[in-house]
């Protein structure tokens, strides 16, 4: 939504979650992975407001049970004008998030949070990470412009389960960066500030999406330490993305919607911890772990070919065989991930239930709990899906039947 009352703007942006079809963990080590957006989304509303009090940003993040008021003037003084990374000359711009001195900017954010919230260290990790990310992106984007910053109310919701492998952190960061950039566009085109925007554009351009994805990648570094970048790319661009670290994400033109049961194991975990656990395993068993990663990449490549064939719709008689092939790949991928130590007894219970109905199941995302996904080939009888869902619900899991795919970051009308 783009509205202005007395030059006070309101923007509203949404972004999807994601599931990784193949290549979680191995993607961190430079292997190809494929991921797809979810119908479940996060959304943000930023509203500029007039206030008789000290100018401030009011943040409302119900998903992490956080309500915070951040004073604006000290924020501007302490965090604006981010520096370029060492060795890079020129001037930092919000259009160059990959050139920010990330560690230095994050250190300033950390010090500032301790200053305005003396109890910062005692907050739960999820609240700390959300606050760090917010201040980092807000000061990174607005701190490199000369636009006057006004008091604002920021409110953010999500249909995603937090910390369950469906990209809630990337979806959150993409929404945040998208909304701040949209606000900046509106403000700069309403005054005489650096106006270069096409006001008629109702959505983000591809270049803007790339900038949004890079800001979100920086947030993922705050949350995860060493993210691959697949989550922010998928939540920004939507649909099916083939991703390899260091290369431009490839958007696969797959015109089919995969039907899945998304099963929430209700075991919460942190992506950062699991990535560190795999790194430790690799340190002790480098060659073995590298071979597993390589096998994961072969699975990702083959699955891409099968999906492309299925999507072309040319070989109808083969459809059933192609789904069987995909199922086999899902099973193999899960077992490879289990060998990396990132399964969980609850995920194995879900897999056994799916297997008893002849359906393939794999964990998605970092594992250690979070979500499993069960592939539903078109020929699966309704009664099979209903009885499996019933059984999983009875075991205390949450089950969502959904189709994968859909738009990336969007400006809400």
Ligand X SMILES: Nc1ncnc2c1ncn2[C@@H]1O[C@H](COP(=O)(O)OP(=O)(O)OP(=O)(O)O)[C@@H](O)[C@H]1O
Ligand Y SMILES: C[C@@](O)(CCO)CC(=O)[O-]
Cβ closer to ligand X: 230 or 354? 230
Residue 365 within binding range of ligand Y, rule CB under 6 A: yes
Residue 158 within binding range of ligand X, rule CB under 6 A: yes
Cβ closer to ligand X: 61 or 289? 61
Cross-strand pairs, 263: 372, 399
> Which listed range, 154-162, 202-210, 325-333, 392-400, lies at the site for ligand X (CB under 6 A)?
154-162
Q: Residues 70, 106, 141, 230: which binds ligand Y (CB under 6 A)? A: 230
d(CA 202, CA 219): 26
Residue 25 within binding range of ligand Y, rule CB under 6 A: yes
Min CB(197)–ligand X separation in Å: 27
Site string for ligand Y, 2-21 (x = CB under 6 A): ------------------x-
Cβ distance 369 to 264 under 8 Å?
A: no
Min CB(231)–ligand Y separation in Å: 5
The backbone torsions φ and ψ at residue 96, rounded to the nearest 5 degrees and listed phi first, read: -125, 55
Residue 27 within binding range of ligand Y, rule CB under 6 A: yes
Cβ distance 377 to 317 under 8 Å?
A: no
Residue 97 within binding range of ligand X, rule CB under 6 A: no
Cβ closer to ligand X: 166 or 327? 166
- Which entry of ligand X, ligand Y, none binds 397, CB below 5 to 8 A by partner kind? none
For 16-25, b/e burial (b = at least 16 CB within 10 A) is bbbbbbbbbb
> Counting beta carbons within 10 angstroms of the beta carbon of residue 391, is it exposed (0 to 12), middle (13 to 18) or buried (19 or more)?
middle
Residue 231 within binding range of ligand Y, rule CB under 6 A: yes
Eight-state DSSP code of residue 87: T
Q: How far is CA 348 from CA 273, 345, 367, in A?
A: 20, 5, 11
Cβ closer to ligand Y: 105 or 224? 224
Q: Among 191, 196, 173, 179, which Cα is nearest to 142's?
A: 179
Assigned token pair, 26 = 């191995």
> Which listed range, 49-57, 89-97, 168-176, 180-188, lies at the site for ligand X (CB under 6 A)?
168-176
Size of the site for ligand X (CB under 6 A): 26
Kindly tell me the sign of the dihedral angle through the C-alpha atoms of 406, 409, 412, 413: negative
Q: Residues 156, 186, 292, 326: which binds ligand X (CB under 6 A)? A: 156
> Which listed range, 165-173, 179-187, 194-202, 397-405, lies at the site for ligand X (CB under 6 A)?
165-173
> What angle do helix axes 125-142 and 102-116 make, rounded to 10 degrees?
120
Residue 167 within binding range of ligand X, rule CB under 6 A: yes
Size of the site for ligand Y (CB under 6 A): 15
Assigned token pair, 234 = 């998928």
d(CA 110, CA 114): 6
- Which entry of ligand Y, ligand X, none binds 230, CB below 5 to 8 A by partner kind? ligand Y
- Which entry of ligand Y, ligand X, none binds 304, CB below 5 to 8 A by partner kind? none
Window 334 to 393, contacts with ligand X (CB under 6 A): 365-366
Neighbours of 253 (CB within 10 A): 9
Min CB(331)–ligand Y separation in Å: 19
d(CA 234, CA 38): 9
Eight-state DSSP code of residue 161: P
Residue 28 within binding range of ligand Y, rule CB under 6 A: yes
Window 164 to 193, contacts with ligand Y (CB under 6 A): 165
> Which listed range, 5-13, 139-147, 228-236, 284-292, lies at the site for ligand Y (CB under 6 A)?
228-236
Cβ closer to ligand Y: 275 or 332? 275
Q: Among 41, 54, 40, which Cα is nearest to 12's?
A: 41
Residue 366 within binding range of ligand Y, rule CB under 6 A: yes
d(CA 376, CA 404): 11
Q: In the complex, which residue's CB is closest to ligand X?
A: 126
- Which entry of ligand X, ligand Y, none binds 68, CB below 5 to 8 A by partner kind? none
Q: Kindly report the three-state secondary structure assignment for every residue of 39-71.
A: EEEEEEEEEECCCCCCCEEEEEEHHHCEEEEEE
Element at 158 (helix H, strand E): strand 152-158
Residue 238 within binding range of ligand X, rule CB under 6 A: no
Assigned token pair, 319 = 């459809």
Residues that bind ligand X (CB under 6 A): 42, 61, 63-64, 126, 129-130, 156, 158, 162-170, 172, 223-224, 231, 270-271, 365-366
Footprint of ligand Y (CB under 6 A): 20, 24-25, 27-28, 165, 224, 227-228, 230-231, 271, 275, 365-366
């Amino acid at each position: 939504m783009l509205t202005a009352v007395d030059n006070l703007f309101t923007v509203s942006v949404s972004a999807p979650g994601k599931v990784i079809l193949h290549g979680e963990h191995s993607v961190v080590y430079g292997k190809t992975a494929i991921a797809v957006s979810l119908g479940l989304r996060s959304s943000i509303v930023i509203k500029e407001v007039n206030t008789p009090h000290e100018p401030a940003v009011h943040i409302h993040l119900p998903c992490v049970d956080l309500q915070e008021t951040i004073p604006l003037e000290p924020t501007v003084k302490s965090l604006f004008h981010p520096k370029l990374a060492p060795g890079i000359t020129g001037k930092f711009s919000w259009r160059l998030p990959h050139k920010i001195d990330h560690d230095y900017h994050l250190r300033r954010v950390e010090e500032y949070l301790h200053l305005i919230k003396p109890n910062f260290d005692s907050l739960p990790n999820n609240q700390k990470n959300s606050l760090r990310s917010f201040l980092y992106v807000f000061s990174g984007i607005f701190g490199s412009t000369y636009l006057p910053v006004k008091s604002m109310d920021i409110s953010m919701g999500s249909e995603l389960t937090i910390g369950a492998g469906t990209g809630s952190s990337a979806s959150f960061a993409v929404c945040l960066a998208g909304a701040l950039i949209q606000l900046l566009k509106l403000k700069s085109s309403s005054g005489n500030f650096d106006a270069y925007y096409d006001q008629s554009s109702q959505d983000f351009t591809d270049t803007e999406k790339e900038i949004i994805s890079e800001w979100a990648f920086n947030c993922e570094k705050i949350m995860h330490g060493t993210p691959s970048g697949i989550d922010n790319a998928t939540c920004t661009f939507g649909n099916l993305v083939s991703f390899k670290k260091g290369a431009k994400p490839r958007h696969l033109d797959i015109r089919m919607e995969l039907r899945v049961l998304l099963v929430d194991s209700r075991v919460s975990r942190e992506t950062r911890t699991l990535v560190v656990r795999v790194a430790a395993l690799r340190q002790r068993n480098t060659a073995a772990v590298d071979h597993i990663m390589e096998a994961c990449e072969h699975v990702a490549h083959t699955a891409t070919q099968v999906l492309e064939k299925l999507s072309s719709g040319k070989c109808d008689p083969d459809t059933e065989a192609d789904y069987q092939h995909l199922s086999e790949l899902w099973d193999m991928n899960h077992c490879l991930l289990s060998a990396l130590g990132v399964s969980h007894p609850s995920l194995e219970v879900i897999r056994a239930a799916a297997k008893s109905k002849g359906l393939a199941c794999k964990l998605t995302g970092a594992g250690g709990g979070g979500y499993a996904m069960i592939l539903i080939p078109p020929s699966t009888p309704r009664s099979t899906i209903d009885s499996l869902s019933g059984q999983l619900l009875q075991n205390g899991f949450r089950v969502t039947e959904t189709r994968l795919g859909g738009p990336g970051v969007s400006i809400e009308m």
